[in-house]
C-alpha cells in the first residue's frame, strides 16, 4: 500500500521535531515545511526584528532536524498572509479597546486555512503540528447513520495543554490534522528527542508574541496603531480623577503596571472607556465578575443544544487560567451568555473563552495509549 503523506509544520522547536520523527517511525511519508512569517521592520531604520517563530536560528534548527530524519524540507513564504490575518487583526483589536490573542487567529487562519490548503495542494493526507492536544475519531451520537465525528481533547500533559488556542478548529480541520506529541508529557518529548539525537533536543522554548520578539507591546502598538494613543484621565469608579494615562492602547483589564498613581493602595485597570478616552481603575476585588457575553462562536461537535443542557460545563477565560464551572445561555443567535458559579478575575474583552466538557483524566501510566482521553473541547468564542 502507498504510504500516507503528512506535511509537518516544523518550527525548529523540539515539539515539532519529535512530531516529525514519531510520524516517520509510524510509517508515514513525512515532509517538513517551515513557515516564513512577517517580521517587524522599524520605519526609517535598517532594523528588522526577527519573528521568533521563523528566525534564522529557527530555520537552521528545523532544516537540521529534517536532514537528520532524511525527509524533504521546504520553506513557504506566508509573510503577506500572516501580516493581514494576524498582525493587522492584533492592532485593530487594540484600537477597539480590546486585548486580542494572536495565537488563536494564527491557528485558525494561517495553520488551519493557508497551510492546510498548501498541504492539500501537495497531495498530503494530513497536516501535523507540534501542538499539545489530541484528536479522537468516534461515531456521532446525534446521527442515525452513526457518521464519523472528530473530537478535540486536552493533552496528556495538562501543564502544556494548548487546546485553548485551538477552539476555532472544525470537523473539516480535525479530519486532516495530527497532533503526535499530545499523547506525551514535555519531559517525555525531551527524552525522545535526546534518544533520537535530534539537534533540537535541548533547544529552549520561545516565549511571548512571535512578531514582538522584544516583548515591548506598547512600542509596537505605537508604531502601527492610529487610535487610542492619546493621553487622557485616569478615574476611579466614582468619577474622581486620579492621574493621566499614556493612551488607552497601552492598557488591558487587570493591569497594575504603568499607572503611575500615588497613594497607599494598589490600583488595577477595570475598564477602557473609549467614549471619553478615560481609564477606569479600582481595587483587586472589583476585577471579579460572574458573567460575560461571547461572540464569533465555533462549536467543534455538532450544533445540538442538548450537549449544553448538562449541569457542568467548564469555561476557561485565558490561557493558563483554571477551567471553571459555568452555565451557558445559547438562546441568542451567534452569541452566548456565560454565568460562572464562582467569580472570575479580569474577564477581558478580546480574549477567548473556551468551553470544556469535564471528564476524568486517567492517571498517567507507562505508554501513551493508556493515558486517558482527557477533557473534550466543545468550542469557544471571543469575549465581548
Distances (CA, A) of 46 to 43, 49, 185: 8, 10, 42
Q: Cβ of 169: how many Cβ atoms within 10 Å?
A: 23
46 contacts: CB under 8 Å, gap ≥ 6: none
Strands 29-36 and 73-77, how do they pair? parallel
Cα–Cα distance between 11 and 32 in angstroms, integer? 10
Question: Which residues fall within 8 angstroms of residue 203, CB to CB, at 6 or more apart?
Answer: 12, 13, 14, 61
Q: Known catalytic residue: 103? A: no
**Which residue do the cell numbers 472570575 mark?**
344
**23-to-26, 50, 52, 354 alpha-carbon distances in Å:** 5, 30, 25, 29
Q: Are 202 and 192 in contact (CB under 8 A)?
A: no
DSSP E strands in 317-375: the ranges are: 324-329, 335-345, 352-357
Alpha helices in 152-263 (DSSP H): 171-174, 186-195, 217-224
Residue 209, C-alpha cell as written in the block: 508574541
Residue linked to cell 504603568: 258
Helix axes 56-69, 14-25, angle to 10 degrees: 20
Scored b (16 or more CB within 10 A) or e, 337-347 reads ebebeeebbbb
Retrieve residue 56's grid coordinates. 534564522
Rg (CA), the chain: 22
Residue of 103, 106, 326, 330 marked active site: 106
Query: Is 106 among the residues known to form the active site?
Result: yes
Cell of 247: 493612551
Given 210, 218, 326, 330, the catalytic residue: 210
Return the active site residues: 106, 210
Amino acid at each position: 500500500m502507498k504510504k500516507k503523506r503528512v506535511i509537518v509544520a516544523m518550527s525548529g522547536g523540539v515539539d515539532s521535531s519529535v512530531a516529525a520523527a514519531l510520524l516517520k517511525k509510524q510509517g508515514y511519508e513525512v515532509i517538513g515545511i517551515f513557515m516564513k512569517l512577517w517580521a517587524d521592520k522599524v520605519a526609517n531604520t535598517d532594523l528588522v526584528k526577527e519573528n521568533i517563530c521563523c528566525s534564522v536560528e529557527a530555520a537552521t534548527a528545523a532544516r537540521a532536524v529534517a536532514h537528520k530524519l532524511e525527509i524533504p524540507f521546504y520553506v513557504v513564504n506566508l509573510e503577506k498572509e500572516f501580516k493581514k490575518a494576524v498582525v493587522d487583526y492584533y492592532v485593530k483589536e487594540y484600537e477597539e479597546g480590546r486585548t486580542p490573542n494572536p495565537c488563536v487567529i494564527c491557528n485558525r487562519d494561517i495553520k488551519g486555512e493557508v497551510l492546510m490548503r498548501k498541504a492539500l495542494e501537495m497531495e498530503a493526507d494530513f497536516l501535523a503540528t507540534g501542538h499539545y492536544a489530541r484528536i479522537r475519531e468516534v461515531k456521532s451520537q446525534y446521527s442515525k447513520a452513526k457518521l464519523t465525528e472528530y473530537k478535540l481533547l486536552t493533552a496528556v500533559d495538562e501543564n502544556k495543554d494548548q487546546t485553548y488556542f485551538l477552539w476555532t478548529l472544525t470537523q473539516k480541520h480535525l479530519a486532516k490534522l495530527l497532533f503526535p506529541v499530545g499523547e506525551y508529557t514535555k519531559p517525555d518529548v525531551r527524552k525522545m528527542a535526546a534518544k533520537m539525537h535530534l539537534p533540537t533536543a535541548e533547544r529552549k522554548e520561545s516565549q511571548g508574541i512571535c512578531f514582538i520578539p522584544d516583548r515591548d507591546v506598547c512600542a509596537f502598538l505605537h508604531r502601527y496603531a492610529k487610535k487610542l494613543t492619546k493621553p487622557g484621565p485616569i478615574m476611579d469608579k466614582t468619577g474622581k480623577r486620579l492621574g493621566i494615562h499614556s493612551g488607552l492602547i497601552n492598557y488591558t483589564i487587570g493591569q497594575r503596571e504603568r499607572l503611575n498613581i500615588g497613594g497607599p493602595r494598589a490600583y488595577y485597570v477595570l475598564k477602557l472607556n473609549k467614549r471619553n478616552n478615560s481609564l477606569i481603575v479600582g481595587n483587586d476585588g472589583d476585577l471579579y465578575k460572574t458573567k460575560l457575553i461571547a461572540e464569533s462562536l465555533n462549536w467543534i461537535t455538532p450544533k445540538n443544544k442538548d450537549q449544553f443542557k448538562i449541569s457542568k460545563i467548564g469555561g476557561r477565560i485565558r490561557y493558563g487560567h483554571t477551567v471553571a464551572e459555568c452555565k451557558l445561555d445559547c438562546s441568542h443567535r451567534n452569541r452566548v451568555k456565560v454565568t460562572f458559579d464562582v467569580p472570575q478575575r479580569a474577564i477581558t474583552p478580546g480574549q477567548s473563552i473556551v468551553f470544556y466538557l469535564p471528564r476524568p483524566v486517567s492517571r498517567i501510566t507507562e505508554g501513551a495509549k493508556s493515558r486517558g482521553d482527557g477533557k473534550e473541547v466543545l468550542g469557544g468564542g471571543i469575549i465581548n
